[in-house]
Amino acid sequence: MIYAKITGWGKAVPPAAISNDEISTIVDTNDEWIATRTGIRSRRVSHVSTAELATIASKHALACAGIEGKEVDLVLLATCTPSTMVANTASLVQKNIGATGAAACDTNAACSGFLYALQNATAQIQAGMIKRAVVVAAERMTWYVNWAKRDSAVLFGDGAGAVVLEASSEPSGLMGTKTGCDTEDRDILHITNYGSDIDKYKPVGPSELLFEGREIFKRAVTGMSIACDDVMQKAQLELDDIDVLIPHQANLRIIQAIQKKLDISDDKVMVNIDQYGNTSAATIAIALCEAVEQGLIKPNANIMSAAFGAGLTWAASYIRW
């Protein structure tokens, strides 16, 4: 059996941070509301492109794995904020990291994108099609933010996280996964005036992220919990077997609700939404890196991860470290 072991990891978080108090100077909000309703205290805003964030994270991951770009067979970039649509943004990352022989492709499953990409790259390694992949999630969510609207201005941030996967006989990497998409209500979370459906001969308004927060909140909790249960059941994992939970970081209260449903203790849950806000596909990739840095993920740890996003896409993954 071939496995896709995670041999390297890295992140790129922009140095410029905007605190809740600073946001309060541009829209009618306050630190108390934002912190208690979302858990967010600060978010990063990038002055460089999505491709550059992805490049930095990928270079860190390659250095961590001790391999060079030219040894990589595939670069999969999860993003819903691509630098360019044509050519794809992954091709720029491929070039920047020197992965000249690698296939390069963007994956858009919004906030679930990193787990979708991890599944795709793992499947290709397990099928023997490729030996090494860089899976990177990068977002410049603040590009879509309407800073005049308080409901969205407070929630999002920019950043990137990456992993290197390598074929291995050691049972590790993605061991169980489930992805899906409940498309009926896809309009409750979308970006306006973007894509080839818009009439390019008519003036259009700005592209901005619109969402029904309460509805998404409920669906995110239910969707991620059910997906986790399903993956755990198939992998025959008991609750005690889970060492770390890495949920998508969209709202601290969503994370706490999932934690309660799964009955997982605080010390096993990775939370960094306070520092970065919602970086969409990048939240789990960044949180994974930080959980390793903080010693929360130890060798052979069993990690459950879950995501929910526009589509409405969802995903759960069981990763053995």
- CB 38 → ligand ACO: shortest distance, Å? 5
Is residue 181 packed enough to be buried (19+ CB in 10 Å), middle (13-18) or exposed (0-12)? middle
Q: Is residue 150 near ligand ACO by the rule CB under 6 A?
A: yes
CA distance 164 to 153: 33
CA distance 114 to 273: 17
- CB 90 → ligand ACO: shortest distance, Å? 22
Q: Is residue 309 near ligand ACO by the rule CB under 6 A?
A: yes
Residue of minimal Cβ distance to ligand ACO: 213
Q: Is residue 214 near ligand ACO by the rule CB under 6 A?
A: yes
Closer to ligand ACO at the Cβ: 122 or 272? Answer: 272
The answer to whether residue 278 is catalytic is yes
Chain centroid to Cα 267, Å, comes to 21
The answer to whether residue 111 is catalytic is yes
CA atoms within 13 Å, Cβ hemisphere of 190: 11
Q: Are 306 and 244 in contact (CB under 8 A)?
A: no
- CB 269 → ligand ACO: shortest distance, Å? 17
Q: Is residue 51 near ligand ACO by the rule CB under 6 A?
A: no
Q: Which of 251, 259, 302, 305 binds ligand ACO (CB under 6 A)?
A: 251
CA atoms within 13 Å, Cβ hemisphere of 15: 0
The answer to whether residue 193 is catalytic is no
Q: Is residue 315 near ligand ACO by the rule CB under 6 A?
A: no
CA distance 165 to 189: 31
- CB 88 → ligand ACO: shortest distance, Å? 23
Closer to ligand ACO at the Cβ: 98 or 213? Answer: 213
DSSP assignment string, 11-65: EE--S-EEEHHHHTTTSS--HHHHHHHH---EEE--SS-HHHHHHHHHHHHHHHH
Q: Are 150 and 29 in contact (CB under 8 A)?
A: yes
Chain centroid to Cα 142, Å, comes to 15
Q: Is residue 38 near ligand ACO by the rule CB under 6 A?
A: yes
Q: How many residues does the chain have?
A: 321
Q: Which of 64, 80, 111, 228 is catalytic?
A: 111
- CB 284 → ligand ACO: shortest distance, Å? 11
Q: What does the DSSP 8-state code read for residue 267?
A: G
Q: Which of 103, 192, 211, 229 binds ligand ACO (CB under 6 A)?
A: 211
Q: Which stretch binds ligand ACO (CB under 6 A): 9-17, 88-96, 149-157, 236-244?
A: 149-157
Q: Is residue 303 near ligand ACO by the rule CB under 6 A?
A: no
Strand 74-78 relative to strand 103-107: parallel, antiparallel, unpaired?
Answer: parallel
Q: Which of 96, 105, 208, 217 binds ligand ACO (CB under 6 A)?
A: 217
Q: Is residue 200 near ligand ACO by the rule CB under 6 A?
A: no
Q: For residue 137, what are the β-bridge partners?
A: 78, 161
Q: Which of 20, 88, 272, 278 is catalytic?
A: 278
Q: Which of 12, 13, 90, 216 binds ligand ACO (CB under 6 A)?
A: 216
Q: Which residues are catalytic?
A: 111, 248, 278
Binding site for ligand ACO (CB under 6 A): 29, 33-34, 37-38, 111, 150-151, 154-155, 189, 211, 213-214, 216-217, 220, 250-251, 278, 308-309
